Amino acid sequence: MAERDAGGKFTRGNRASRGNRGGRPPNRLRHAVEDLMEPLVEQSVGIIQSALSDADAPLKDRIAAAQTVLAYRFGKPRQRIEVSGAAIGDLLATIDKARADFVHSAAQRAVHQGDSGDERQRTSGSPRKDRKRPRPKG
């Protein structure tokens, strides 16, 4: 049985609480690559810093370095999609037609429900939901 303390938590050194049993296995390859890349990351940061601070560096290199810093600090800007011209007109026409078809079909359903002799409008799928149930005595 698992050893627990007075609060119900596992005690230190308990075999039941050890390791990552049944969990996702550690990604050894990713960790190995991260270890190999660490010196290169430091070197890359140094290159970006020198490009930003060097006034004699070409302007395109300084702009690229600044964009890299900003992209990692704030994230890349969202790509905006602009719809204009005939495409927006077609979209609005499709929406208007769908709305008109929906209103027409709803009106047809209302007319057909009125012909069945049932004056009450049902809002739920249950046909008996609007009837009052007798209260139990007791």
Half-sphere exposure of 4 (CA within 13 A, CB side): 6
Q: What is the pTM of this model?
A: 0.35
Which tens digits make up the pLDDT trace of 9-50?
888 777 766 666 677 777 888 899 889 988 888 888 888 888
Which tens digits make up the pLDDT trace of 100-132?
999 988 888 888 776 555 555 555 555 555 566
pLDDT at 97 (0 to 100): 92
Using the structure block, give the residue that is written with the tokens 């004056």.
119
pLDDT at 98 (0 to 100): 93
- What are the residues whose beta carbons fall under 8 Å from the beta carbon of 26, sequence distance 6 or more? 20
